[in-house]
Amino acid sequence: MLDDRLVEVRRLWSELLEAVSGECTEALVLIFPTWWSSTRVELIADAAGGLAAEVVVLQRASALGADRATTVVELSEEFVVIATPAAEVKVLPRGERDSAGYLSAGFLGAGFLAAGFLAGATDVLIDVPAEVSPLSPALTARLRADGLPVAYSDRHRMVRSVSAGLPDHAGRESVGREGLPRRRVAAVCTGAVVSLAAVGGGWAAQTLSVQPPADPSTALLVEGRVAVRVPAQWAVERITSGPGSARVRVSAPTGDSTALHLTQSVGATSTTIAEVAETLRQAVEAEPPGGFADVDPAGSVGGRPAVTYRELRAGSETRWAVVIDGAIRVAIGCQSPPGRPEVIHDACVRAVQSAHAVR
Measured CA to CA, the distance from residue 225 to residue 227 in angstroms comes to 7
At 351 the pLDDT is 94
Tell me if 256 sits within 8 A of 247, measured CB to CB: no
Q: Give Cα separations from 302 to 222, 331, 345, 347 (angstroms).
A: 21, 15, 10, 11
Measured CA to CA, the distance from residue 77 to residue 258 in angstroms comes to 33
Measured CA to CA, the distance from residue 217 to residue 222 in angstroms comes to 16
Measured CA to CA, the distance from residue 99 to residue 112 in angstroms comes to 13
pTM (2 decimals)? 0.48
User: Dihedrals φ, ψ of 70, to 5°?
Assistant: -100, 135
At 160 the pLDDT is 84
Angle at 131 between CA 125 and CA 19, to 5 degrees: 105
At 251 the pLDDT is 92
Counts for the chain of helices (H) and strands (E), in that order: 9, 20
Residue 84, C-beta contacts closer than 8 angstroms, at least 6 positions apart: 71, 117, 118, 119, 120, 121
Residue 154, C-beta contacts closer than 8 angstroms, at least 6 positions apart: none
Angle at 163 between CA 160 and CA 167, to 5 degrees: 145
At 333 the pLDDT is 95
SS3 assignment, position 210: coil
Closest CA to 84 of 72, 67, 92: 72
The one-letter amino acid code at 281 reads R
Measured CA to CA, the distance from residue 318 to residue 239 in angstroms comes to 16
Measured CA to CA, the distance from residue 191 to residue 34 in angstroms comes to 21
pLDDT tens by residue, the chain, 359 residues: 778 888 888 888 888 888 888 777 777 888 888 878 777 788 888 888 888 878 888 888 888 887 778 888 888 877 788 888 766 677 776 654 443 333 333 344 333 433 445 656 678 888 888 778 777 777 777 777 777 778 888 888 888 888 776 644 433 333 333 333 333 333 344 445 566 654 443 332 223 333 334 345 778 787 877 889 898 888 888 887 766 677 889 999 888 899 999 998 887 677 888 888 888 888 888 888 888 888 899 999 988 999 999 998 888 999 999 999 888 899 999 999 998 999 999 999 999 999 988 76
Give the dihedral sign, CA 246/247/252/258: negative
Length of the chain: 359
Kind plus residue range of the DSSP H or E element containing 277: helix 273-285
Measured CA to CA, the distance from residue 308 to residue 65 in angstroms comes to 45
Residue 159, C-beta contacts closer than 8 angstroms, at least 6 positions apart: 188, 193
Tell me if 77 sits within 8 A of 50, measured CB to CB: no
Give the dihedral sign, CA 54/58/64/70: negative
Tell me if 237 sits within 8 A of 262, measured CB to CB: no
Measured CA to CA, the distance from residue 336 to residue 338 in angstroms comes to 6
